Amino acid sequence: MNRVVLSLAALLLGGCATSSLVLLPDDEGQPGSVAVLESKGRPTDAVIADANSRTKLGAATPVARPLGRKGLKAGEAALVGGLPPPAKGFILYFEQGTTTLTPQSQAVLGQIRQELAARSGSELEVTGHTDTVGNEADNDRLSLQRAEEVVGWLASQGFDRSIMTAVGRGERQLMQPTIDNVDSAANRRVEVIVR
């Protein structure tokens, strides 16, 4: 009998409870958004769309308020503190038709090495690209070779190949759209994402 009374009391009190919502930014610092609906699914005027803001959800219309790291509750701070750092991207550029990095991109390799060394449990996505000079099959091979060249260099620096994925996109995802057979330094690249 006591269990039934306690369960019923907990259920009734739970129905009166409010929930708290904290909206955090994504990897690029942009917040998502949350639309608040009434219990029957009808929309309210409440949309929470500011990063690092908190609102209480309950009977009243929610109002978001800004929230800094210091404004987080203990459990929220621990949760946020346990999140991995946002992904970081790097772009390396190559000489025409080769797997040879441009001189400026040599320095970027060192930055990638430092970023990998600073993160435990990281993963690396390495995507090679080409310009539109040459045929599609050759560009597919070259883009993959560029990505594998970067992976190989990082492996030679002591990083485990199993955390790295190399793919080639050829001339399919141009940073600078061009017609066919155009020499474009911006498109001869490898994009590296460290997660």
Strand (E) positions, 8-163?
19-23, 34-37, 43-48, 53-57, 65-66, 88-93, 124-128
Tell me the per-residue pLDDT of 55-112, one tens digit each, with 9 for 90 and over: 666 656 666 666 666 666 776 666 666 677 889 999 999 999 999 999 999 999 999 9
Start-end ranges of CATH 3.30.1330.60 in the chain? 88-194
pTM for the model stands at 0.67
Per-residue confidence band for 42, with pLDDT thresholds at 50, 70 and 90: low
- CATH number, span 88-194: 3.30.1330.60
Tell me the per-residue pLDDT of 150-171, one tens digit each, with 9 for 90 and over: 999 999 999 999 999 999 999 9
Per-residue confidence band for 186, with pLDDT thresholds at 50, 70 and 90: very high
Pairing of strands 124-128, 164-168: parallel
